[in-house]
Amino acid sequence: MTDERMPHPDDADAPAPTTPEVAPAPASSSEQPEDDGMPAAAASSSPKPVAPQVEPPSPDIDIVPASSMLPGEHRGGFFRLPTAPVAVTTQSAPAEPANDLTAASAQWLASDEPGIHRGLAGWALAFAIIGLVVSLFVGWGFPIGLVAVVSAIFALRRPLESRAVAVWAIVIGAVSILYSAGWLLYAALRANLFG
């Protein structure tokens, strides 16, 4: 490779750069510009562009068809029809048993026991009223009031019982216990049991 750079001004003995020789242009009668707007001398000195050469396609590339496919058009290959519900023509469920209950299968049947009984709150209220009436006259009515309060508490814990009736049973049962305790205290003081 040759070095065609400009010489430094310090280099006096360096050879002067050479310019390429331009072939003389054919003489023409006038220096009129040609079709492309260049003078005749400049047009003849520039090389003509070479037409590009296209290589044939390689065998591993598919040739694209002349017309492209539209969106949604079938492209070949696997093709299936749109699906639709299929009519059921036969029953596939097992047949119903015909009342052939054996002793082994009868044990799994639901029992005829009734569910939760209602009425515990009502019984608690009845015991509370009876305990209050008894405790107004004698002191030994406190066990009846105690039964009323306990059964009312159980009634509050059951979902089907009336909460209002159970609360009234607790209040009246507590009052009957207080009256009974008052009667017992009065009797103990009259008998000089506390000194």
Phi, psi of 181 (to 5 degrees): -65, -35
pLDDT at 187 over 60: yes
pLDDT at 114 over 80: no
Q: Give 109's DSSP letter.
A: S
pLDDT at 67 over 70: no
Over range 35-63, report the average pLDDT.
72
Across 49-58, 124-133, 185-194, which has the greatest mean pLDDT? 124-133
Over range 50-62, report the average pLDDT.
82
User: Which pLDDT tens digit goes with each residue over 73-105?
Assistant: 766 666 666 677 777 777 677 666 666 555 555
Between CA 170 and CA 176 the distance in angstroms is 10
pLDDT at 56 over 70: yes
Residue with tokens 């079709």: 35
- Which pLDDT does position 159 carry in this prediction? 85
Between CA 30 and CA 52 the distance in angstroms is 34
- Which pLDDT does position 115 carry in this prediction? 62
Between CA 140 and CA 8 the distance in angstroms is 139
Least confident of 62-71, 98-107, 177-186: 98-107
User: Which pLDDT tens digit goes with each residue over 146-177?
Assistant: 999 999 999 999 888 899 999 999 999 999 99
CA distances, 113 to each of 30, 108, 109, 110, 117 (Å): 130, 14, 12, 9, 11
**Cross-strand partners of 33:** 39
User: Which band of pLDDT confidence, cut at 50, 70 and 90, is reported for residue 29?
Assistant: very low
Whether the CB-CB separation of 160 and 181 falls below 8 Å is answered with: no
Over range 4-8, report the average pLDDT.
57
Whether the CB-CB separation of 176 and 148 falls below 8 Å is answered with: yes
Amino acid at 45: S
